Chains A and B, each alone.
Chain A
Amino acid sequence: MTEHTSSTPAAALVGRSADGDADLFRPDPGAAPTWRMVAAQAGMELRIMLRHGEQFLLTMVIPVLLLVGFSLTSVLDVGGGARVDALTPGVLALAVMSTSFTGLAIGTGFERRYGVLKRLGATPLSRFGLLAAKTLAVLGVQAIQVTVLCVVGLLLGWSPSLDPVGAVAVLALLLLATAAFSSLALLMAGTLRAEATLAGANLVYVLMLGMGGVLFPTSSFPGPLEQAVSVLPITALTSGLRTVLVDGSLPGIAAFAVLAVWAAVGALLASRLFRWE
């Protein structure tokens, strides 16, 4: 897009009578209602997330490929039972983490670098409003991810054991995990340089993918390692989801507690340390 292709070249506007615009620019300030600001900002965040090529790869393409690939081939030992039944809970957890941690951290890190957060700070949208909008956008992307992965899983023959109480437990796990991952993402994005956040968030994604029980249960790890990774938020999420969806029982309080502690610590540190520019 070059200047001279503009339908209204700037040159044509020169010399316009300033008084003719007096009505257009007459001061009449006022903030919009908070809900409208939050809805507009959330829509913007959602569109940017879905439009971003690398993020789409991370949040949609990789989880779907892992689910389809490892369900249809026997390259990976996923434990007993139908392969798709064992894989789907872990891939759902990975998808949730890719959006609420990796995607959010990288996106927010670069917004901070490019002065977007600072610029938004000069608008009537409050910091609370911005946070609410980001949360809504993350939840929106996750809803799409979960729908797509469930449909793909069902097409592959996934038969989760799910009763109403189990469904509530799954929802609670997903929301708690989103809170934990999001607060850690904001902590990272608000304290590190954008490049460091980019590298760090991707590294954490790969480590969690390998160690967090995403593709196979951590019960196949040696005892001490299994103990160590059990305090990771991704492990708490994957094991909790597996307990409900594979075993058909309710997860212990530990899974919820691990996620809640990460969420609380992350939120506390992020609110203290986050730098807007």
Chain B
Amino acid sequence: MDTAAVEVVDLVKRYGTTTAVTDLTFTARRGAVTALLGPNGAGKTSTIEICEGFRRADGGRVRVLGMDPVADASALKPRVGVMPQSGGVPTGARAGEWLRLMASFHARPIDPDLLLERLGLTSAAATPFRRLSGGQQQRLSLACAVVGRPELVFLDEPTAGLDPQARMATWDLVASLRAAGVAVILTTHHMDEAERLADHVIVVDRGSVVAEGSPRELTGERREVRFAAAEPLDAEALRAALPEGSRVGSATAVGGGHEYVISTDDPDALGPEFLATVTAWCASAGILAEDLRVRRRTLEDVFLELTGRELRD
């Protein structure tokens, strides 16, 4: 049990002239939740599908539970659960019978009825797949991934398109899997999901890893001050009033006002006095700082810093 759940070294995947994955390297521990976090088109699904044995790598080395995902596929399949991004179920199959079918492929499956209940699908058990709501289809797919009591599950965007309740139920199930010692590898572009669920976050952009660590390590201990102002202020003058190493950033706030973010490299600097300096400066400049708050940086801040704010195709 000392091998990693998944080990990816210098992975390369090309589609024609497009390189989807470039020298991507990461390790996912057993019994832990690892999140591949990145914008659309970052190479997350390509990476996960290579680990699942669906696609072949063009370069690099992939080991899943210490084995080769293609050459050792038949040994791996009973041990690994897979939830694809969408589909995977015949449109005419009923939710309950499909889950029972998936269970029948395994030696000691979880009771399908128990799993349906756990995911709020009991009343949908007799409904054909095509008549399930998007959220119900996602949860059925999740149930199918875990019904065989796998050691490792791959969840490709498990909460895409879910309403808040279904999303919470999915998060709850991932937490249960982790508590039971199942290794979970999920892809997401929701920062809060990665922050909340993952032991280890791998930020992927343009096919390679741009940062990794626990959510805490990634966000660090740094705090920042945010406030909004109706009129633009002299950011340079504000910065000059603050201690050395402070930065003042600005962004257009929702509703058209001006949003300011003050951060500092020195984690100890941002204390009560710092806040007093900011409000005093605003008072002297005749500016009302609205929605003033001190907060820890979120993974979203880190993510946007790393991957940039411009929209992608």
B179 touches A14 (CB 8 A): no
> Taking each of B52, B90, B131, B166, which has the highest tally of chain A beta carbons within 10 Å of its own beta carbon?
B90
Q: Is A193 an interface residue (CB 8 A)?
A: no
Is B124 an interface residue when CB atoms closer than 8 A count as contact? Answer: yes
Closest Cβ of chain A to B187, distance in Å, is: 16
Binding stretch for chain A, among B9-17, B167-175, B288-296: B167-175
| B169 touches which of A10, A30, A36 (Cβ 8 Å) | A10
User: In the complex, what residue of chain A is closest to B180 when comparing beta carbons?
Assistant: A25
A269 → B minimal CB distance (Å): 23
Return chain B residues, CB-CB under 8 Å to A44.
93, 97-98, 101
Interface residues on chain A, number (Cβ under 8 Å) = 53
A156 at the interface (CB under 8 A from B): no
Question: Is the CB of B41 closer than 8 A to any CB of chain A?
Answer: no
Residue of A nearest to B179 (CB): A18
A119 close to B82 (CB less than 8 A): yes
A115 at the B interface (CB under 8 A): yes
Question: What A residues does B102 contact at CB under 8 A?
Answer: 123
- CB-based nearest A residue for B183: A27
Cβ of B43 < 8 Å from any Cβ of A?
Answer: no
Cβ–Cβ < 8 Å partners of B172 in chain A:
13-16, 18
**Is B307 on the interface with A (CB-CB < 8 A)?**
no
Are B165 and A9 neighbours in the complex by a CB distance under 8 Å?
A: yes
The stretch from B19-27, B113-121, B261-269 touching chain A is: B113-121
**Do A3 and B117 touch (CB < 8 A)?**
no
- The segment from A46-54, A143-151, A234-242 that touches chain B is A46-54
In the complex, how many angstroms separate the beta carbon of A44 from the nearest chain B beta carbon? 5
Binds A, one of B148-156, B216-224, B236-244: B148-156
Q: How far is the CB of B14 from chain A (nearest CB, A)?
A: 18
* Set B52, B133, B148, B150: member contacting A1, Cβ < 8 A: B133
Of B72-80, B188-196, B206-214, B271-279, which stretch is located at the interface? B72-80
By a CB distance below 8 angstroms, the chain A residues around B89 are: 114, 116, 119
Chain B residues with CB under 8 Å of A126's CB are 74
Q: Determine the chain A residues whose CB is within 8 A of the CB of B74 once the complex forms.
A: 124, 126
Which residue from B131, B132, B176 sits with its C-beta under 8 Å from A22? B176
Chain A residues with Cβ under 8 A from B101's Cβ?
Answer: 40-41, 44
- In the assembled complex, A74 has its CB within 8 A of some CB on chain B: no
| Bound CA–CA A8/B169 (angstroms) | 11
Is A5 engaged at the interface, CB distance under 8 Å to the other chain? yes
Complex Cα gap A21–B182 (Å) = 12
Contact check: which of A6, A26, A48, A111 meets B120 at CB < 8 Å?
A6
B245-284 with Cβ < 8 A to chain A: none
Within 8 A of B (CB), among A18-66: 18-32, 36-37, 40-41, 44, 47-48, 51-52
Task: Tell me which residues across on chain B come within 8 A of A47, comparing CB atoms.
Answer: 97
Q: Find out whether the CB atom of A2 lies under 8 angstroms from the CB atom of B133.
A: yes
List the B side residues contacting A51 at CB < 8 Å: 92
Given A3-B133, A9-B120, A123-B77, A25-B166 contact (CB < 8 Å): no
Interface string of B91-132 (1 = CB under 8 A from A): 111000110111011111010001001111111100100011
As a 0/1 sequence over residues 100 to 136 of chain A, the CB contacts with chain B under 8 angstroms (1 = contact) are 0000000000110011101101111110000000000
Q: Contacts A26-B181, A115-B87, A122-B77: A40 and B104 contacting too (C-beta < 8 A)?
A: yes
What residues of chain A lie closer than 8 Å to B181, measured between beta carbons?
Answer: 22, 26-27
Q: Are B84 and A6 in contact (CB under 8 A)?
A: no
Question: In the complex, how many angstroms separate the beta carbon of B262 from the nearest chain A beta carbon?
Answer: 36
Q: Are B120 and A36 within 8 A (Cβ)? A: no
For A45, give the chain B residue with the smallest CB separation. Answer: B90
User: Across the interface, which residues of A come within 8 angstroms of B169, CB to CB?
Assistant: 10-11, 13-14
Across the two chains, which residue of chain B brings its CB closest to A13? Answer: B169
| Interchain nearest-CB distance for A40 vs B (Å) | 4
A277 cross-chain contacts in B, Cβ below 8 A:
54
A127 CB, min distance to chain B CBs, angstroms: 10
Is B135 on the interface with A (CB-CB < 8 A)?
A: yes
- Is B88 an interface residue when CB atoms closer than 8 A count as contact? yes
Complex Cα spacing A5 to B135, Å = 13
Question: B49-65 CB contact bits vs A (8 Å, 1 = yes)?
Answer: 00011100000000000
Can you list 10 A-B contacts (CB < 8 A)?
A1-B132, A3-B166, A20-B176, A26-B181, A30-B108, A32-B107, A36-B104, A47-B97, A119-B89, A122-B54
Contacts A48-B90, A48-B93 known; 8 new A-B pairs at CB < 8 A: A3-B166, A11-B165, A48-B92, A116-B89, A118-B88, A123-B102, A124-B74, A124-B77
List residues of A whose CB falls within 8 A of some B CB: 1-3, 5-16, 18-32, 36-37, 40-41, 44, 47-48, 51-52, 110-111, 114-116, 118-119, 121-126, 277
Q: Which residues does B use to contact A, with CB under 8 Å?
A: 52-54, 74, 77-80, 82, 84, 86-93, 97-98, 100-102, 104-108, 110, 114, 117-124, 127, 131-133, 135-136, 139, 144, 146, 148-151, 163, 165-166, 168-169, 172, 175-182
A-B pairs, top 8 by smallest CB distance, nearest first, are: A30-B107, A119-B88, A25-B180, A10-B169, A21-B176, A115-B87, A40-B104, A31-B78
